[in-house]
Chain A
Amino acid sequence: MRAAAQAFMALGVLLLFVGGTGVLRFRDPYSRLQAAGVADVGGAFSFLVGLSLLAGWGWELGVLGLLALLFLFTGPVATHAIAKGAFLRRHPTNGEER
């Protein structure tokens, strides 16, 4: 159980690092939003699954599950809101910054 929990947590941290590299390296805000949105939701969910394997049965498990569901539902909504705002303000897409 402990090894499985650490595997899930390591996968989550790896996904967070990959998303962070994308946020650092991509050239326009839409690409950066895509990297951050996808990798953050996956990484946070995997990390919380590993944490709830470590927590065992109890009300902490309920709170951790609620937190994981919150990330799963609100992460894409926030990414969509930011991307929609950037699109409606006619932000350029091809790497040219203004």
Chain B
Amino acid sequence: MRGIWEAAILLSAAPPLFRLWRGPSFWDRVAGANSLNVRIALVLALEGVLGKRAVLLDVALAYALLGFLGAVLLARFGERGER
């Protein structure tokens, strides 16, 4: 049961991974990284609840926060400066 949900979320992480790999522009890569971070945090939360490893919930919280920070930082970096 748990493996099916994890496989579904990781399968839905394939298009953002493709955009991160060869997005034509810098903004596609940043958006792909952001979507990938959301899905990884969801997998961590799922493993924490269904796998009875509650530490992973805190890991998911910290990961989501740092992923958001990284996306905003990259966007602000690309706004000015050369690519």
Query: Dominant SS at the B interface?
Result: helix
Among A61-98, those with CB < 8 Å from B are 63-64, 66-67, 70-71, 74-75, 77-79, 81-86, 88-89, 91, 97-98
Interface string of B47-75 (1 = CB under 8 A from A): 01110001001101100110010011001
Asked if A97 and B25 sit within 8 Å, CB to CB, the answer is yes
The answer for the CA separation of A84 and B57 in the assembled complex, in Å, is: 32
Expressed in whole angstroms, the Cα–Cα distance for A40 and B24 within the complex equals 21
Judging by beta carbons under 8 Å apart, are A63 and B61 in contact? yes
Binary contact track A16-51/B, C-beta < 8 Å → 1, others 0: 110111011000010011001000100010011001
Interchain residue pairs with CB less than 8 A apart (13): A29-B28, A32-B19, A36-B35, A51-B45, A60-B48, A67-B57, A77-B72, A78-B71, A79-B31, A79-B34, A84-B79, A85-B78, A97-B24
